[in-house]
Structure 1
Amino acid sequence: MPTASEMLSADFGSVPGVVRQLASEDPQHLALVVDDRQLTRAQFDQLVDRVAAALQRDGVRQGEAVSVCAGTSVEYAVLYIGVLRAGAAVAPIAPSVTGEQMAAMIGDSGSRLVFLDRDAHATLGERAAELDARIVALDGSGVGQDWSDWLAAAGSEPKPVEIRPEDPFNIIYSSGTTGVPKGIVHSNMMRWRQVAMGGNPAYAEAVTLISTPLYSNTTLVSFLPTVAQGGTAVLMRKFDARAYLELAERTRATHTMLVPVQYKRIMAVPEFDRFDLSSFVLKTCTSAPFAAELKRDILVRWPGQLVEYYGMTEGGCSFMLKAHEHPDKLHTVGQAMPGHEAILIDDDGKPVAAGEAGEIVGRSPTMSKGYLNRDDKTREMQWYDEDGNLWYRHGDVGRFDADGFLILTDRKKDMIISGGFNIFPSDIEAVAKDCPQVEDVSVVGVPSEQWGETPVAFYVGAADPRSVVEFTNSRVGKTQRLADAIRVEDLPRSAIGKVLKRELREAYEIRSR
């Protein structure tokens, strides 16, 4: 039997497989910590077995999706790996979505088994009875079959499953309030390449402090390597800047992944410099624009390396900035990672000249399978070069400096990034247009001290601004709620009728001075 280290050096393997091997090599090593609950590798592995056995007992087939919508917990973490051990795929759903969104995502995934906590079930509301799926209460709240009753008996083992490279690992859903949400399908091979890292022991002895939720791809890119390489994952149920610092000091955290707004809040804690953070080896960041000034402050005041990642959940090309090695490049998102390629194209799909800005397209060994049940959207994302090679459109605009570092200049996709989450203005606009006495509306992202960006609606009509905000916010997810609504005579448009959102953002900036 190969060792865990040897397994991680292979071209392909499975996360649940290496978790089992790690448990056999050092069963008492701490694997998971959530509040005052701790699981050793052996305890974690045994619970994963019980989950996989229960799924097989209930007829969950290989490649089938299992949905989960809940807050961070030991049960959530165990469920995630257990679903994989059964050969199925995880479809994690953000608790911040609306009941309509949640039902649509569960239906789109084809899940026949859904794990919810009390809050998620309350959000789902009356739609819970309409689901073509059985509900298990992950938190024992009674909203479905109790987790402890559902779980297979202690000592249960699942039937061995050959996990295939092309099979789905997970389905990560984009937020959306209209139509069918887009489910990004990651294969087992894609995730293996991310977590194994060619046997790189970056997380082998890590104590990784994770304060983002388990449904987020941002979380998975640090949680999965920690679990698969043998580190200890310390999960926070809810982020609080001071509580994060206290936990980091107490657990002697070595690794962490945070989004920019979290870094900003942590660095702003008045007593920050009193905390002992000397154990940190690696701090990473992704999901949203990361201000150069904030990076510089972290480099000065927070020990350990600082690495920024830029890329898409869908895959394509990922960029990496080792800020501690390139303090003169903090205004960039770094260079393409090894094995990743990117080029810039113009509106006609042709590569731009050196030094010019263009839309980013990329390719790499870690590309998703596209969007579940949405071949049209998958095709929109694809771009082929003259040799027929497939690349993915990032939707962002940037330019390369003389050293090959990427500078982001704009977002081609109409997207707002708030607190590290992607928000599509068109989804909010579709809701706001239904507000009485609203004739036309456009939503833009404006700077926010708390969230980085936040949505604001500009509208034409006789409606009162407060009524527009209240109407819209009662019908969208928490992360999509409007911060403000502004009545205008007309929306600025181009010669072909496209709303000039840049002008709206500039108008809001002037208004806020």
Structure 2
Amino acid sequence: MADLSIVHGSEEAALWPKRLGDLIEDQANSFGDRIAVITPWQETRLSFTDLAESSKVLANAMVRADLRLGDCVAVMAGNRYEYIQVFLAGGRIGCPVLPINNAYTPVEVLRALQRSSCKLLFIASNIGPRSLSAHIQNLISSYSENTLPDLSGIVGFDVSQQNQYVQIQGYGEFLATGALDEDENGFLESAQRIVRPLDSLSYQFTSGTSGEPKLSMLSHRGLINNARLVGNAMRLTPEDVVCCPPPLFHTFGLVLGFLNAFTHGSAIIFPSDTFDAERVIDAVSREKATALLGVPTMFVAELEVCEARKLEITTVRTGLAAGSPVSETLLTRLEDRFGVKGMLIAYGMTETSPVTFMTSLDDPRDKAMASLGRVLPHTSAKIVDENGAIVRRGVSGELCTSGYGLQKGYYNNEAKTKEAMRLDADGRLWMRTGDQCYLDADGYCHISGRIKDIIIRGGENMFPLEIEERLLLHPAISEASVVGVADQKYGQVVGSFLKLATNQSQPPDQEVRDWVRAELSWHKAPQHVFWVGVGGACPDFPKTASGKHQKYLMEEIANEALFGSSFRAMELPVRLGYSIFA
């Protein structure tokens, strides 16, 4: 078995059997008035006791709003302290919390609420400089027209300040309905008592293995233990201060950021509601942060700020990089400029709560720089060929993982759940990652390619099929294929290969982008547009004998067209700890 590509993590330390409500009370009892959450942009500092008390009041307000075990609560907002309160309150009473992507258009938000059978929505008026007025107006119209039959209420974090949406209840007003002296009949206590560790704590939209967005159901047991084990690898203690620029709508920000720090009694800083490199550096300096989280594009921007200010950061001892490829050069710059003794790499996917492989502070430099690390405790992994047989060490195949962190399945999608999660002959359940990897002799995982057809722009996963379907609705486009094009800043950006419909004039590239942005998030619009046909990027779409588009050939055409002979000499990110942002 030693030469086969299957590994099992340590099981020495037992998993916690806790629900989130148990964890909240335990941490309040242990750490009390120690600071847990800092949001400098809101001038707010909350202790562990503050979080316990406010989440209990908010949970009671949810119960009084007729929410029950299993009812979905959604949030669309930037990194603000109220986001944490909603997550904790929902967890207390067994209401899974669905973080909504901040880049979603009004149409995408509506679809997300419909697909999740959302019962209660919390939403901000703005996220950074971006107004959500169009989203809110669309929600109000849909709510009135009963196209959101499950939705019973909308709560605005800051709309009460403007008093312009009479259909939306202000957050403060909603919170006031949860005054604990009104729980005379013990409804909150009853709601908390029936929650179980294997109940869903969070819903997350994810690419899965097919590129079609699905709703992953993640349990209290999976998320709490994954956060705890990642923090153990970072050696977090109550003396640590974690700076977390990644957004809370991703598992990176919510689990590897907040929940990670919370399980270890560490403080966490959310420097701004949306990423701002200047504010990150200000927060790190002011709060003397000891750990810094981020994706490569964030680290690059932060390094530029430090270099412009001629500032040396000396307090950061460790950090966590995930979400997209990380180059060795970038890791070295972080060590030199921030004085980081060990920048760790995490790999996983949303469906696994999320981390399965991670580097260690004790790893030899070559392993720390050129691998995804080794499997986490209480987790197993194997590499299989196309027939499902385990391959030898050093041989590439599809990575499959198993253990406590596996999702409960995809919400209302049994077919896709069975496709992604499979029992082996011994009755063990495995998750197919869709990633092509190999295990070396020491058990370190290396990515050798991608099986799933997905584009990863700065840690954000995008589904080509979704973009292609939108492009094909344009009257001038008869055929479309979307691929990932190399980019030194983001790793990949969207590129589209398009064929004109008969008797149509070629529209300007900007018109194509605007067409996509009218229905989809702005970052899904193609940054590069290539036309197929006489005089175009290629005479026809490269295809297999069966007529399928050969996307790898289109990627080569695009990269050669953009970078020429210099493309193969470019230093592009090489580490693929990317599915964290699935």
Match of 1:464 in 2: 507
1:213 counterpart = 2:257: no
Distance 1:225 1:426, change over 3 A: same
The 8 Å contact of residues 441 and 459 in structure 1, kept in 2 or not, is answered as yes
Query: Which of 223, 232, 235 is the aligned partner of 2:267?
Result: 232
How far did residue 465 of structure 1 move? 4.3
How far did residue 379 of structure 1 move? 1.4
Q: Could you give the per-residue CA deviations for residues 409-456 of structure 1, whole angstroms, max 9, x where no partner exists?
A: 211111111121111111100100111111111111112233221101
1:385 counterpart = 2:424: yes
Match of 1:243 in 2: 279
2:158 alignment partner AA: D
How far did residue 505 of structure 1 move? 1.1
Query: Which of 458, 476, 490 is the aligned partner of 2:520?
Result: 476
Q: How does 1:347-496 map to 2 (within 5 A)?
A: 347-461=386-500, 462-466=505-509, 467-489=511-533, 490-496=540-546
Distance 1:437 1:198, change over 3 A: closer
Match of 2:189 in 1: 159
The 8 Å contact of residues 105 and 180 in structure 1, kept in 2 or not, is answered as no
| C-alpha separation in 2, matches of 1:282 and 1:244 | 16
Unmatched tracts of structure 1, length 5 or more? 1-7
Match of 1:4 in 2: none
Q: Could you give the per-residue CA deviations for residues 370-427 of structure 1, whole angstroms, max 9, x where no partner exists?
A: 2101111111212333333221111111222333322212111111111211111111
Say which structure, 1 or 2, has more relative contact order (CA 8 Å, 6+ apart).
Answer: 2
1:282 counterpart = 2:315: no
Q: How does 1:75-224 map to 2 (within 5 A)?
A: 75-118=82-125, 119-120=131-132, 122-123=134-135, 125-130=137-142, 131-132=148-149, 133=151, 134-141=153-160, 142=163, 143=165, 144-151=168-175, 152=177, 156=181, 158-160=188-190, 161-162=192-193, 163-174=195-206, 181-197=213-229, 200=232, 202-220=236-254, 221-224=256-259
Distance 1:95 1:124, change over 3 A: farther
The 8 Å contact of residues 52 and 82 in structure 1, kept in 2 or not, is answered as yes
| C-alpha separation in 2, matches of 1:465 and 1:398 | 40
| C-alpha separation in 1, matches of 2:320 and 2:243 | 11
Match of 1:508 in 2: 558
Which stretch shifts more, 114-123 or 492-501?
Answer: 114-123
Distance 1:293 1:395, change over 3 A: same
Distance 1:349 1:9, change over 3 A: closer
How far did residue 184 of structure 1 move? 0.7
The 8 Å contact of residues 485 and 558 in structure 2, kept in 1 or not, is answered as yes
| C-alpha separation in 1, matches of 2:545 and 2:133 | 47
| C-alpha separation in 2, matches of 1:79 and 1:264 | 32
Match of 1:320 in 2: 358
How far did residue 274 of structure 1 move? 4.1
How far did residue 198 of structure 1 move? 11
Query: Which of 313, 333, 341 is the aligned partner of 1:304?
Result: 341
1:182 alignment partner AA: K
| C-alpha separation in 1, matches of 2:496 and 2:231 | 48
| C-alpha separation in 1, matches of 2:559 and 2:290 | 40
Query: Which of 19, 27, 33 is the aligned partner of 1:28?
Result: 33
| C-alpha separation in 1, matches of 2:14 and 2:399 | 31
1:28 alignment partner AA: D
| C-alpha separation in 1, matches of 2:549 and 2:230 | 47
Q: Secondary structure of the equivalent of 1:463?
A: coil
| C-alpha separation in 2, matches of 1:150 and 1:99 | 24
TM-score by length of 2: 0.81
The 8 Å contact of residues 357 and 375 in structure 2, kept in 1 or not, is answered as yes
Q: Percent identity?
A: 26
| C-alpha separation in 2, matches of 1:85 and 1:304 | 37
Match of 1:3 in 2: none
Distance 1:121 1:371, change over 3 A: farther
Q: Secondary structure of the equivalent of 1:269?
A: helix
| C-alpha separation in 1, matches of 2:337 and 2:366 | 17
- How many corresponding residue pairs? 505
| C-alpha separation in 2, matches of 1:20 and 1:460 | 59
